[in-house]
Structure formats: C-alpha cells, structure tokens
Amino acid sequence: MHLQFKPENGKVILVLKGQLNRDSGAILYRTLYQVLEQAQIYSDWIFDLSKLEICDSTGIGHLFESLKKLMGAGASIKLAALAPSSHKLLKTSRFHFVFPCYPSLAAAIGS
C-alpha cells in the first residue's frame, strides 16, 4: 500500500493506494503516528479511498483503529470514494454510522 499525504487549508487528504489488509495496515499506522508525533494536528481528515484496490475485513479493522486514533486527537474524519465492496463491508460492520462516507472526494471536501 502507498499513501499520499496532502495537507491544504487545515485539512488533510490522505490518498490510500493499493491494498489495505493484514499486511499493509502497519503502513497506515506508521504514517498517522508520524504526523501526530510532529504535533501537526489537522482538524479535518479526508481519506480518499478511490485508489484502494482491495480492502478486506482486516483492512477495515486497521482503518477503524487509525480513525479512532485521529478522533482521539480531536480530528474529524470523512471517508470518500469507497469501492462498492468496501462500502458493503463498512455497512456490515456498521462503521458507516461512525464515519461519514461520501461518493467522491469532491463531495467530501464540499461538505
């Protein structure tokens, strides 16, 4: 998995590319911890999942733990452009009630 970190106007867009699963979750954790350790607290985080090819149930768990860490630091979280299979996993696990999901990055930015 590759992450692209794009801060702009107090918001961060984090683009996840590739696969989010048991093996790649550590990359997500490491990136978030580095940002939080640098005391770079951004109030709004948008996770752009449009380039995420695979996200299994373990990947959803990694995503949830990462989002909890950000919320603990006072950030608001939005998920954008989930693939239908990932969106179905979020609904099954009921995470869509916790984290707002938007059909596109533009919709998440405009909300």
Tell me the per-residue pLDDT of 49-59, one tens digit each, with 9 for 90 and over.
Answer: 899 888 888 88
Helix axes 57-72, 25-37, angle to 10 degrees: 10
Mean of pLDDT values over 65-77: 82
State pLDDT tens for residues 74-89: 888 899 998 777 777 7
Output 80 or 30, whichever has higher pLDDT: 80
Let me know: does 56 contact 42? Beta carbons within 8 Å.
no
**pTM over the 0.75 mark:** yes
